[in-house]
A and B are shown apart, each in its own frame.
Chain A
Amino acid sequence: GNSVTQMEGPVTLSEEAFLTINCTYTATGYPSLFWYVQYPGEGLQLLLKATKADDKGSNKGFEATYRKETTSFHLEKGSVQVSDSAVYFCALDSNSGYALNFGKGTSLLVTP
């Protein structure tokens, strides 16, 4: 079946550091891939998405590239801010079912 694996957290970084959160997936066919972010006390919200291989999704300085050859969708940001502290979820949509498959989430804490 479809599944998403994210790196374990928590991840603690200093402000302006480079961020990478790894995400790999298992799926048949050609899934769409997403990153959602959950700020403290809130629901998840879409951060970025990519719907086909080699697409790059970007938003708020975050980027992720859909790599079919390595079945990966790693999230990156060049310079994190304290306000980026949140839980980040990688998700997969198989385009043939009715649910997204979410990873377990990676908690990010950015310190001043």
Chain B
Amino acid sequence: QVQLVQSGAEVKKPGASVKISCKASGYNVASNYMHWVRQAPGKGPEWMGKINPGIGSTTYSQKFQGRISMTRDTATTTVYMELSSLTSDDTAVYYCAREYCTATTCYNGNLDYWGQGSLLTVSS
């Protein structure tokens, strides 16, 4: 069965960086884009970007350009999201989410499996 297992909660100081992992299993990880979505307390979800785990190409939201990086390790089927220059506004639950694909088509807005979420708290 498809599983996305994320790393645990983090506490960081303003100005620091964080790297969150998402280990995927139960499917051909190279075949589906992985998206990152965050949700601040009491707010709606916010799309951050996506990575093609097969070739490593990325697309980032303009909001995070310059301080976000998504990478992958094909050997361990793990994708990573690193966010730098943290502020208190980055306090949120961060999710990885798989984009649904059939054998021939990928549905960009169809995020069918989600990780359990990783809570990031940024505080001095």
B is bound to A: no
Interface residues of B, Cβ cutoff 8 Å to A = none
